[in-house]
Structure 1
Amino acid sequence: MIRQDEQSETTTTVDIQEEVQRMLEAYSGADIRVAHLLCDRHADAANGVVLQYEDATGGGTSCTYSEIRDLSIKFAAVLRGLGVGRGSRVATLLPRTPELLIAALATWRLGAVHLPVFRTFGPEAIQYRLHHGAATVIVTDAKNRPKLKHIQEPGHPVAVVTVQGGQHDLEELPDENDIPFWRSLHAAKEEIEAVAVSGDDPFILIYTSGTAGAPKGVEVPVKMLAPIEAYMRYGLGLVEADRYWNMADPGWAYGLFYALVGPLLIDQTTLFYNAPFSIQATYRILMKYGVTNLVTSPTVLRMMRTEGFPEGFRKNINLRVISCAGEPLGAEAMEWTQTHLGVALHDQYGQTEVGMVVANHQAPPLRQPLRPGSAGQALPGFRVVILGEDGTELPAGQSGELAIDTEQSPFFFFRGYLQDPARTAERFTEGGRYYLTGDTARQDADGYFYFTGRIDDVIKSSGYRIDPHEIERLLISHEAVTEAAVVGKADPVRGQIVKAFVVLRDGHGGSADLRENLQRLVREQLSGHAYPREIEFVDHLPRTPDGQVQRYQLREDAAA
């Protein structure tokens, strides 16, 4: 295996395809122990730190691999006592804490499947995931426990393990039937060896939501560890000396894959900051922990640009690389990051179903010059194409649907949505040759991909197909605008009209003159049919906790 600190000089001489094959072989066998791969094999290193943890009070701790191994062994005994075994589903409804890491590793130690539930979900969303996913245990904390009040259904009992009052569970449990996390863990005596599974067995079950219908369950097989490792090494360019902070929450796929699983897989310390987001706290964490490799969202960078830096910030940070995912980046964001943070900003693209598939690679063997607006080139192990409406591959320069050639992508492992053959079929062309992402993009002659939006986000007005992201980038270029989101609003004459929600910079008011200026900007710079006929000035845009704009909420607001 290539050492991370040798990457810059060694992997330039190694055939990348040989590395792809090595990773496939490492995680595709019949005798794979996930807890060993992610934890146990690193535990013998002296003082090997797996987790740096800090909470909202500024208190925190660091955990070594050996400590987390021992704790996960004990908690695996607790889970086994609750009937968990190979193939069982164990859910977590937890913030970014050591308990989350312990619970996940204990689940994998038993050959069971981790089912993450994001903590901002309401009771109905949680209950659906637990019962559709057939979870038999959920691990939560006192803050989130009230959401589980009505999860029990006839014939489907779910045991609730609750973290309460620190490592000794000193406080009274919210429900008399709950199992105390720490007290049960400390009382456990059985030594649990890591259970062997195959590369085809699932180790994660995660739900992704579409624009309509119930959430879709995605079973992630153990062999998905291969493209996860490839992304950590090539996409994010992690080296042994890095201090790594991925700001995404492990309740979502990107955070789970690349803030929890990925770092442990390659023996890299990960950082959990468990507190409400603020840009000032972000600055403090970057300086305090000397972060060198940062993964964040465009929203965070926009807030940095808007609020400015604290005194001495530039002199007290050690950033080496920054990567972003979640929404397209324009030239302005890339230029600002390079100028004000002294680091090139690398955009990247992926989905819950397949992981990351396109990247502006950070690792020297694959690093290429950045091109504004591009998410980069296909990651090793994937062949990514653009398809026309007839399902044929389009030449460079033409826009269509981003797709993955399943026959020539050894890292493609998506098998379909759990118990949902109809929506699974919608994801593939006839015969299964291509996986359809539902995203629109184009590819240039050098293999760079330019994401333009969700097919569902495209606005159809008076027969025109309008890309909302192009309008947003233009609006944000105005000196008065800090953020903008564009959606379609139903119209009896045009089918839809373009409506923009705009957040202004401090010192600017939402006047009629400014509204007209922004409309004129789009008409003159983009197109007469694409300008926003309605502009609403708002204090903020609705976002998921990991920073993505909730367009469905804006569409509902526009229709109200």
Structure 2
Amino acid sequence: MNYQALVETFSWEEVEKKFDWQSGDDINMAHLVCDRWAEEPDRIAIYWEDASGNKQTWTYEKLRQKSNQMAHALKHLGVKKGDRVAGLLGKDMELIISVLATWKIGAIYVPLFTAFGPDAIMHRTTDSGVSFLITNREQMSKLEDQNTSFQVLLTDGLTNEGKTFWEFVEAFPNDYVLERTTEMDPSVIQYTSGTTGLPKGAVSTHKSVISLYPYMRYALNIDDEDIFFGGADMGWSYGLMACTFVPLSFGIPILVYKGPFDVEKIYQLLDEYNVTNFTYAPTAYRMMMAAGPELIKNYNIQTKKFSSAGEPLNAEVVRFFENNFGTAIYDHYGSTESGMIVNNYNITDMVVKPGSMGLPLPGYRVRLIDNQGNVVKNGETGEIAIDTTDQDLNFMGYWNNPKKTEGKYLGKWFLTGDLAKQDEEGYFWFDGRSDDVITSAGYRIGPTEVESSLMEHPAVVETAVVGKPDKAKGEIVKAYVVLSDSYQPSEELSKELMTYVKEKLSKHQYPREVEFLENLPKTQSGKIQRYLLRKQE
């Protein structure tokens, strides 16, 4: 399919028809992603496996029944429409049915990540006003010294009546009448990853599933024949929606793996479950490349659609997959607030330019603008923004934070806070966060291009580039580098890397300083925290 034809023929009305819904009708995410497919009793929803090799197969009908029972359980415990329910679990089926149940009773789900410490958990639960938490004993132990006010249900503990989690849930009826919810009712409060400061609670609605359809259908190219595997954790927006619940809205089987990332285990899963469609973060793909091509030959991997999101994907990783899997990784760009709005599209015959974010998502008017809201020329750096004229975004604002919400808009433009350039063919190239831009001797330098150039050197496993204050130039480019095991830090290697970028990229962009680190500072979702490196300078 041709990308331009995709854009020209796109219609939100046609998308809504696929969900048998139109604006003004009631809408509930649990119905869209689960219940409407449960009339076929044998339709498989989830293949689940953990690191110990335990396996389960869940049909849509079983998912509907268990989430109905869980909805009754939550109501029994006093949870009502509009309440905030948090989940602090790994990739457990107990978590999945709890999320569905939360939506069924009209409550709002607040995702939490199991790697969070007590401060991170308490910030999110307090800020959003969580009244109910579903977790386990290990996670709850983090909060022993905290002043909590929410009810807790443990999946591996006993209720006040002495029942296990499943004994308690399965005591309730397995049918449930969904609470009435509309397209304006909140469904999720997803906290940002905190790359630029204190995490904020981005509120989305029950219409999220429909808003994400173009991304899932065109960029990931999910179709009726797929078995889908998305690796992101459900504590984050991409893991919750793009890797779990929105794929289920297509009525296809998904694979949910509860275990640490291991390249060989990932290859085994792709082979065993005949996965056709796979998405993961760039860090995972870099580890797969680092494991080398020989390991791949041990498995019969039929995956033909690879996608990546979370941060820019380096060009050499894309080329590795082209050479060893016969297809590129299709890089995607988005944010918690905006959804996935610039992508390479698996459904099209478009040329994938390694290192490029791709082209705007059909159904959205995405442009690059300057500080005054003017569209910049091709080749110039601008902030990625969405024209909201006659267009609704799924983002309802930040929970109880109107000032931060207001700051996301400049007139008709919704601001992402990210910078990019566009080439003559319309492809977007990521330049960094607006506050990551380095101003050196009058030049505006985005860190991503420098980082991608450094990544081409065999010594470099990961890198982050920031601006270091300098009296003469304002700032100079400084690179923090994590080396591969076969290289040792040295002054000679620093100079070699500087020269490498200078010759590959330009004389004004190359790093004037290189510092070697064991690890780069990252958010819990794996995004590099350049602002911490800047603070260090």
Deviates more, 1:368-377 or 1:85-94: 368-377
Aligned partner of residue 407 in structure 1, secondary structure: coil
Residues 1:177 and 1:390: Cα distance change in structure 2 (over 3 Å): farther
Distance in 2 of aligned mates of 1:317 and 1:545 = 30
Residues 1:409 and 1:189: Cα distance change in structure 2 (over 3 Å): closer
1:200 to 164, 184, 188: 184
Partner of 2:221: 237
Asked if 2 retains the 8 angstrom alpha-carbon contact of 1:346 and 1:370, the reply is: yes
Q: CA deviation at 1:224?
A: 2.0
Distance in 1 of aligned mates of 2:88 and 2:242 = 18
1:428 aligns with 2:422: no
Deviates more, 1:467-476 or 1:439-448: 439-448
1:159 to 143, 148, 151: 151
Could you report, residue by residue, the CA deviation over 1:203-227 in whole angstroms, capped at 9, with x for unpaired residues? Answer: 1111114455532111101122212
Partner of 1:125: 120
Partner of 1:474: 453
- The aligned amino acid for 1:399 is T
Partner of 2:91: 96
Residues 1:309 and 1:372: Cα distance change in structure 2 (over 3 Å): closer
Asked if 2 retains the 8 angstrom alpha-carbon contact of 1:115 and 1:204, the reply is: yes
1:296-311 aligned within 5 A? 296-309=280-293, 311=295
Q: CA deviation at 1:291?
A: 1.4
Distance in 2 of aligned mates of 1:177 and 1:520 = 69
Distance in 2 of aligned mates of 1:515 and 1:61 = 50
Partner of 2:529: 550
- The aligned amino acid for 2:66 is L
Asked if 1 retains the 8 angstrom alpha-carbon contact of 2:45 and 2:248, the reply is: yes
Could you report, residue by residue, the CA deviation over 1:203-260 in whole angstroms, capped at 9, with x for unpaired residues? Answer: 1111114455532111101122212222211121011221111111111011111112
Residues 1:46 and 1:211: Cα distance change in structure 2 (over 3 Å): closer
Partner of 1:16: 10
Asked if 1 retains the 8 angstrom alpha-carbon contact of 2:267 and 2:299, the reply is: no
Asked if 1 retains the 8 angstrom alpha-carbon contact of 2:211 and 2:394, the reply is: no
1:272 to 231, 253, 256: 256
Distance in 1 of aligned mates of 2:372 and 2:161 = 56
- The aligned amino acid for 2:243 is A
Partner of 1:3: none
Asked if 2 retains the 8 angstrom alpha-carbon contact of 1:297 and 1:546, the reply is: no
Residues 1:179 and 1:116: Cα distance change in structure 2 (over 3 Å): farther
- The aligned amino acid for 1:533 is R
1:381 aligns with 2:363: yes
Deviates more, 1:305-314 or 1:238-247: 305-314
Partner of 1:437: 416
Distance in 2 of aligned mates of 1:62 and 1:309 = 32
1:64 aligns with 2:46: no
Deviates more, 1:371-380 or 1:539-548: 539-548
Partner of 2:517: 538
Asked if 1 retains the 8 angstrom alpha-carbon contact of 2:383 and 2:417, the reply is: yes
Distance in 1 of aligned mates of 2:467 and 2:285 = 26
- The aligned amino acid for 1:383 is R
Q: CA deviation at 1:446?
A: 3.3
Partner of 2:210: 226
- The aligned amino acid for 2:361 is L
Aligned partner of residue 473 in structure 1, secondary structure: helix
1:349 to 286, 308, 333: 333
Could you report, residue by residue, the CA deviation over 1:321-378 in whole angstroms, capped at 9, with x for unpaired residues? Answer: 10111222343222221001211221111110121111111124xx422223221211
Partner of 2:465: 486
Distance in 1 of aligned mates of 2:390 and 2:294 = 49
Distance in 2 of aligned mates of 1:398 and 1:32 = 42
Asked if 2 retains the 8 angstrom alpha-carbon contact of 1:30 and 1:197, the reply is: no
Residues 1:499 and 1:461: Cα distance change in structure 2 (over 3 Å): same
Q: CA deviation at 1:308?
A: 1.4
Q: CA deviation at 1:499?
A: 2.4
Asked if 2 retains the 8 angstrom alpha-carbon contact of 1:96 and 1:274, the reply is: yes
Residues 1:405 and 1:142: Cα distance change in structure 2 (over 3 Å): same
Could you report, residue by residue, the CA deviation over 1:254-277 in whole angstroms, capped at 9, with x for unpaired residues? Answer: 111111221121112222111122
Q: TM-score, normalised on structure 1?
A: 0.89
Deviates more, 1:443-452 or 1:119-128: 443-452
Distance in 1 of aligned mates of 2:443 and 2:377 = 22
Distance in 1 of aligned mates of 2:120 and 2:518 = 28
Residues 1:245 and 1:413: Cα distance change in structure 2 (over 3 Å): same
Distance in 2 of aligned mates of 1:304 and 1:428 = 39
Residues 1:162 and 1:310: Cα distance change in structure 2 (over 3 Å): farther
1:82 to 70, 77, 82: 77
1:519 to 468, 486, 498: 498
Distance in 1 of aligned mates of 2:299 and 2:53 = 22
- Structure 2 residues not aligned, in runs of 5+: none
1:414 aligns with 2:395: yes
2:381 to 376, 383, 399: 399
- The aligned amino acid for 2:482 is V
* Number of equivalent positions: 534
Aligned partner of residue 450 in structure 1, secondary structure: strand
Asked if 1 retains the 8 angstrom alpha-carbon contact of 2:87 and 2:133, the reply is: yes
Could you report, residue by residue, the CA deviation over 1:407-428 in whole angstroms, capped at 9, with x for unpaired residues? Answer: 1545x23232122121112111
Partner of 2:304: 320
Aligned partner of residue 367 in structure 2, secondary structure: strand
Asked if 1 retains the 8 angstrom alpha-carbon contact of 2:477 and 2:511, the reply is: yes
Q: CA deviation at 1:455?
A: 0.8
- The aligned amino acid for 2:32 is L
Residues 1:14 and 1:550: Cα distance change in structure 2 (over 3 Å): closer
- The aligned amino acid for 1:158 is F
Distance in 2 of aligned mates of 1:302 and 1:211 = 21
- The aligned amino acid for 1:480 is A
Q: CA deviation at 1:518?
A: 0.8
Aligned partner of residue 435 in structure 2, secondary structure: helix
1:184 aligns with 2:168: yes
Q: CA deviation at 1:142?
A: 1.9
Residues 1:506 and 1:122: Cα distance change in structure 2 (over 3 Å): closer
Could you report, residue by residue, the CA deviation over 1:427-472 in whole angstroms, capped at 9, with x for unpaired residues? Answer: 1113xx0001111112234332222111111123444422211211
Partner of 1:258: 242
Asked if 2 retains the 8 angstrom alpha-carbon contact of 1:306 and 1:505, the reply is: no
Partner of 1:4: none
Q: CA deviation at 1:475?
A: 1.1
Q: CA deviation at 1:143?
A: 1.7
1:39 to 30, 34, 38: 34
Q: CA deviation at 1:202?
A: 0.9
Distance in 1 of aligned mates of 2:133 and 2:113 = 12
Distance in 2 of aligned mates of 1:439 and 1:311 = 37
Partner of 2:111: 116
Residues 1:322 and 1:382: Cα distance change in structure 2 (over 3 Å): same
Q: CA deviation at 1:312?
A: 5.8
Q: CA deviation at 1:83?
A: 1.6
Residues 1:465 and 1:27: Cα distance change in structure 2 (over 3 Å): same
Distance in 2 of aligned mates of 1:110 and 1:286 = 36
1:334 to 318, 331, 350: 318
Asked if 1 retains the 8 angstrom alpha-carbon contact of 2:264 and 2:295, the reply is: no
Q: CA deviation at 1:491?
A: 4.7
1:285 aligns with 2:264: no
Asked if 2 retains the 8 angstrom alpha-carbon contact of 1:161 and 1:180, the reply is: no
Asked if 2 retains the 8 angstrom alpha-carbon contact of 1:211 and 1:456, the reply is: no
Aligned partner of residue 452 in structure 1, secondary structure: strand
Residues 1:338 and 1:521: Cα distance change in structure 2 (over 3 Å): same
